[in-house]
């Protein structure tokens, strides 16, 4: 009953709100003030400020409106209020009023608007609205100043060699970081207004003479289809954009490195930026984007490929090791060297559980430790380490619940999963590991092979914004072969053509 009421209330509210928003600005200042006051609930909203004054040079009354917290108060005081009230110059009264305002107010950007809705949006974005008595136009003055962090090192995508700037929670700064790295006239930032209650604005950045226009249209269409109150940040936007919300495999790249974004834009990808997110999204992406890091190309050819080999190994170890251990010790004992088989058997003689239970206990314990390590408040952080090592490493073994070889298996698995660069991919691997484990416990190595085959088969069916997930490997497209291994920088002359760039050679 209550819920129903809530809904009906909301509907009514929306109707009134929309009707007043669609009004035009009237030449009656008092009327305009009351309209805006009611929209912004000025009776209870203390952040909504209306400052009235007389404009001497025009000999007219005027009002300025702004939202505290989004504007720079100093700028309003100095360049707007001061300019309006103290102006004693003789101005040509015959001039167009727009031109007059432009002349009087020394501020970087002034936009004339005629609709209330435009005013509301401008105010919500930190602009100051100037309404003058007798004029059917409003002026949005750019006074935006939103607090945000300073530019810092990326939190998740660290490199040893290369730039250490990461995105912050401000689109303006993020765009600046990108432009700083790619000073090219064809780099455009295309704003898309979402059709939702808060009228969020999302920016697409791409290199206009490289990007696949169809992808841009596809992204825009998906953005326009979003129909919710507000998109708080890019992490939520990612989930609204992706094709398969239930899939374990991510199809949109989330990165916090401007240099990485620039390299993607140069390959013809589209970058999505939104407010309040210290990262941006890259589409379309393939399997390899999640496998690579920024550093792979910064390090010299041999070093870069070396870390790629290590990472590939980590992939396999993180997915397969626990299940391989289970399969070999319960189904394929002949595979083990005799000494190892005897050593495992000796240590397991006093363990009360079957191997699979033993593995599950340790894997779950490790996942708990990992989750707890993230959630724990930092002052008691070190406890996690102590408790974790004691429980996982020593006590469990001494209490004969876990065999010491199990500790090695889980430790190497955990370590390998840390070496996977992308957080989404890391999650994916942590989850499918349990699937592999179950299958190995039932079918042995046969089960592991089935799981691997199914996984690869599934990956081939995926698409990210129309691009096959495993391309350009399969299906094959010409590219610089920067897949598992990379060639020397000098030989990377072709853009990956699976992305459909307008120009396939880099020059």
Question: What are the residues binding other proteins (CB under 8 A)?
Answer: 329-331, 333-334, 338-339, 341-351, 354-355, 438, 441-444, 447
Distance CA 359, CA 341 (A): 17
- In whole angstroms, the minimum distance from the beta carbon of 320 to other proteins comes to 18
Distance CA 332, CA 339 (A): 15
Looking at beta carbons only, is 176 or 346 nearer to other proteins? 346
Give 58-96 as a DSSP string.
TTEEEEEEEETTTB-HHHIIIIIIHHHHH--S---TTS-
Looking at beta carbons only, is 284 or 444 nearer to other proteins? 444
Looking at beta carbons only, is 418 or 458 nearer to other proteins? 458
Looking at beta carbons only, is 386 or 457 nearer to other proteins? 457
Distance CA 141, CA 170 (A): 20
- In whole angstroms, the minimum distance from the beta carbon of 329 to other proteins comes to 5
CB 325 within 8 A of CB 409: yes
Looking at beta carbons only, is 94 or 338 nearer to other proteins? 338
- In whole angstroms, the minimum distance from the beta carbon of 250 to other proteins comes to 24
Q: In this structure, what are the phi and psi dihedrals at residue 22, rounded to the nearest 5 degrees?
A: -80, 0
- In whole angstroms, the minimum distance from the beta carbon of 342 to other proteins comes to 4
Distance CA 395, CA 388 (A): 10
Angle value at C-alpha 198, between 196 and 199, nearest 5 degrees? 60
Give 293-343 as a DSSP string.
-THHHHS-HHHHHHHHHHHHHHHHHHHHHHHHHHHHHHT-GGGS-HHHHHH
Buried b (16+ CB within 10 A) or exposed e, 480-501: bebbeebeeeeeeebbbbbbbb
- In whole angstroms, the minimum distance from the beta carbon of 321 to other proteins comes to 17
- In whole angstroms, the minimum distance from the beta carbon of 331 to other proteins comes to 6
Looking at beta carbons only, is 59 or 334 nearer to other proteins? 334
Looking at beta carbons only, is 354 or 466 nearer to other proteins? 354
Looking at beta carbons only, is 226 or 407 nearer to other proteins? 407
- Percent of residues in the chain assigned helix, strand, coil, to nearest 5: 50, 15, 35
- In whole angstroms, the minimum distance from the beta carbon of 386 to other proteins comes to 23
Residue whose tokens read 């396999």: 316
- In whole angstroms, the minimum distance from the beta carbon of 350 to other proteins comes to 7
Give 229-295 as a DSSP string.
S---SHHHHHHHH-S-TT-SS--SEEE--HHHHHHHHTTT-EEEEETT-SSEEEES--HHHHH--TH
Looking at beta carbons only, is 301 or 331 nearer to other proteins? 331
- In whole angstroms, the minimum distance from the beta carbon of 487 to other proteins comes to 41
Distance CA 241, CA 226 (A): 8
């Amino acid at each position: 009953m209550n819920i129903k009421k809530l809904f009906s209330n909301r509907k009514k509210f929306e109707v009134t709100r929309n009707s007043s928003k669609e009004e035009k600005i009237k030449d009656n200042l008092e009327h305009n003030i009351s309209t805006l006051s009611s929209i912004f609930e000025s009776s209870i909203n203390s952040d909504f400020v209306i400052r009235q004054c007389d404009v001497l040079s025009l000999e007219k009354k005027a009002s300025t409106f702004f939202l505290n917290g989004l504007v720079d108060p100093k700028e309003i005081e100095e360049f707007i209020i001061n300019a309006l009230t103290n102006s004693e110059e003789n101005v040509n009264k015959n001039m167009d009023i727009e031109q007059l305002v432009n002349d009087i107010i020394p501020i970087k950007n002034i936009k004339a608007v005629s609709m209330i809705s435009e005013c509301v949006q401008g105010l919500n974005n930190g602009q100051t609205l100037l309404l003058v008595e007798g004029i059917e136009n409003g002026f949005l003055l750019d006074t935006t100043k939103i607090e945000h962090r300073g530019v810092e090192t990326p939190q998740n995508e660290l490199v040893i060699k290369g730039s250490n700037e990461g995105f912050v929670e401000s689109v303006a700064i993020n765009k600046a970081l990108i432009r700083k790295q790619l000073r090219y006239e064809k780099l455009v930032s295309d704003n898309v207004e979402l059709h939702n209650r808060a009228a969020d604005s999302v920016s697409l950045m791409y290199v206009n003479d490289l990007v696949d226009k169809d992808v841009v249209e596809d992204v825009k269409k998906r953005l326009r289809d979003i129909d919710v109150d507000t998109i708080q940040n890019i992490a939520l936007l990612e989930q609204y954009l992706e094709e398969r919300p239930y899939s374990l495999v991510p199809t949109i790249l989330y990165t916090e490195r401007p240099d990485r974004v620039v390299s993607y834009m140069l390959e013809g990808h589209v970058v999505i930026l939104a407010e309040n997110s210290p990262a941006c999204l890259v589409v379309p992406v393939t399997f390899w984007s999640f496998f690579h890091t920024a550093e792979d190309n910064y390090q010299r050819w041999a070093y870069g490929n070396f870390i790629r080999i290590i990472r590939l190994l980590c992939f396999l170890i993180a997915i397969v090791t626990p299940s391989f251990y289970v399969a070999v010790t319960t189904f394929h004992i002949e595979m083990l060297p005799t000494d190892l088989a005897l050593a495992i058997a000796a240590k397991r003689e006093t363990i009360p559980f079957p191997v699979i239970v033993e593995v599950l206990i340790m894997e779950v314990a490790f996942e708990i430790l990992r989750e707890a390590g993230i959630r724990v408040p930092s002052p008691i952080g070190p406890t996690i380490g102590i408790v974790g090592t004691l429980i996982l490493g020593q006590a469990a073994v001494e209490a004969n619940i876990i065999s010491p070889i199990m500790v090695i298996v889980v430790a190497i698995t955990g370590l390998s999963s840390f070496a996977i660069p992308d957080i989404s991919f890391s999650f994916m691997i942590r989850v499918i590991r349990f699937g592999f484990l179950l299958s190995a416990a039932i079918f042995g190595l046969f089960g592991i092979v089935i799981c691997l085959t199914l996984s690869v088969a599934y990956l081939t069916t995926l698409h990210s914004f129309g691009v096959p997930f495993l391309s350009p490997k399969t299906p094959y497209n010409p590219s610089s072969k920067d897949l598992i291994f990379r060639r020397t920088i000098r030989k990377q002359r072709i853009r990956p053509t699976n992305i459909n760039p307008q120009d396939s050679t880099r020059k």
